[in-house]
Structure 1
Amino acid sequence: MAGIKIWVLTGDRQETAINIGMSCRLIAESMNMVIVNEETAHDTAEFISRRLTAIKNQRSSGEQEDLALVIDGKSLTFALEKDLSKSFLELALLCKAVICCRVSPLQKALVVKLVKKNQNSILLAIGDGANDVSMIQAAHVGVGISGVEGLQAARSSDIAISQFRYLKKLLLVHGAWSYQRLSKLILYSFYKNITLYMTQFWYSFFNNFSGQIAYESWTISFYNVIFTLLPPLVIGIFDQFVSARVLDRYPQLYSLGQKNVFFTKTAFWLWVGNALYHSLILFGFSVILFWGDLKQATGLDSGHWFWGTALYLAVLRHCP
Structure 2
Amino acid sequence: MTKVDSVICCRASPAQKALLVTQIGKGPQKKAHWYSWLSPTSTTPLTLAIGDGANDLAMISAANVGVGISGREVQQAVRVADFSISQFRYLSRLVLVHGCWNYYRTTRFILATFWKETFFYLPQALFQEQTGATGTSLYEPGSLTFVSFFTAACILVIGTFEQDLHSRTLTVVPELFKYGQNAEGLNMSVYFSWFSNALVAGLIVYAGAWAGYMDSEMIDVDGWYAQGLLTFVLCGIWVNIKLLVIELHYKTRVALWSILGSLAVLWAYLLIAGAISSPSSAPYSVRGGLSLEFGRDPA
Tell me how far apart the structure 2 counterparts of residues 139 and 260 of structure 1 sit (CA, whole Å): 19
Aligned-pair distance for 1:218? 2.2
Give, in angstroms, the shift of residue 263 of structure 1: 1.2
Unaligned runs of 5+ in 1: 1-88
The one of 186, 191, 194 aligned to 1:271 = 194
Residue in structure 1 matched with residue 11 of structure 2 by the alignment: 102
The 5 A counterparts of 1:179-198 are: 179-198=103-122
Q: Which amino acid aligns with 2:60?
A: I
Q: What corresponds to 2:160 in structure 1?
A: 237
Confirm or deny: 8 A CA contact 1:172 1:247 kept in the other structure: yes
What pairs with 1:135-214 in structure 2 (closer than 5 Å)? 135-214=59-138
2:147 corresponding residue in structure 1: 223
TM-aligned CA deviation for residue 185 of structure 1: 1.1
- 5 Å-filtered alignment, 1:65-76, equals none
| Identity among equivalent pairs (%) | 38
Displacement of 1:302 in angstroms is: 6.5
Gap change, CA 1:282 and 1:223, over 3 Å in 2: same
What one-letter code is carried by the residue in structure 1 that aligns with 2:88? F
Does the 8 A contact of 2:67 with 2:81 survive in 1? yes
Does the 8 Å contact 1:128/1:150 carry over to 2? no
Within a 5 Å distance, the mapping from 1:1-320 to structure 2 comes to: 89-90=1-2, 93-94=3-4, 96-119=5-28, 120-224=44-148, 226-291=149-214, 294-296=217-219, 300-301=220-221, 303-320=223-240
Deviation at 1:196, TM superposition (A): 1.1
| Distance in 1, Cα, partners of 2:179 & 2:163 | 14
User: Once the 2 structures are TM-superposed, how far is the Cα of residue 292 of structure 1 from its aligned partner?
Assistant: 5.7
Give 1:222 shift. 2.0
Letter in 2 for 1:287: W
SS of 2:207's equivalent in the other structure is helix
Q: Which runs of 5+ in 2 are unaligned?
A: 29-43, 241-299
Assess if the C-alpha contact under 8 Å between 2:26 and 2:45 holds in 1: no
**Which structure has greater strand proportion?**
1
- The answer to whether the 8 Å contact 1:295/1:302 transfers is no
Paired residue secondary structure (2:165) = coil
Rounded Cα–Cα distance in structure 1 between residues aligned with 2:211 and 2:225: 16
In structure 1, distance between residues paired with 2:185 and 2:64 = 21
Match of 1:16 in 2: none
Structure label with greater radius of gyration:
1
| Aligned residue pairs, count | 225
Greater length-normalized contact order (CA 8 Å, ≥ 6 residues apart): 2
Contact kept in structure 1, 2:69 and 2:84, CA below 8 Å: yes
Supply the distance in 1 between the matched residues of 2:135 and 2:175 (Cα, whole angstroms): 53
What's the TM-score, normalizing by structure 1?
0.67
Question: C-alpha separation between the residues in 2 aligned to 1:301 and 1:118?
Answer: 66
Partner SS, residue 59 of structure 2 = helix
1-side partners of 2:117 and 2:205: how far apart?
A: 14
Secondary structure of 1:97 counterpart: coil
In structure 2, what is the Cα distance between the partners aligned to 1:149 and 1:164? 16
CA offset at residue 238 of structure 1?
A: 1.0
Give, in whole Å, the separation in 1 of the partners of 2:81 and 2:90.
Answer: 15
RMSD after superposition: 1.5
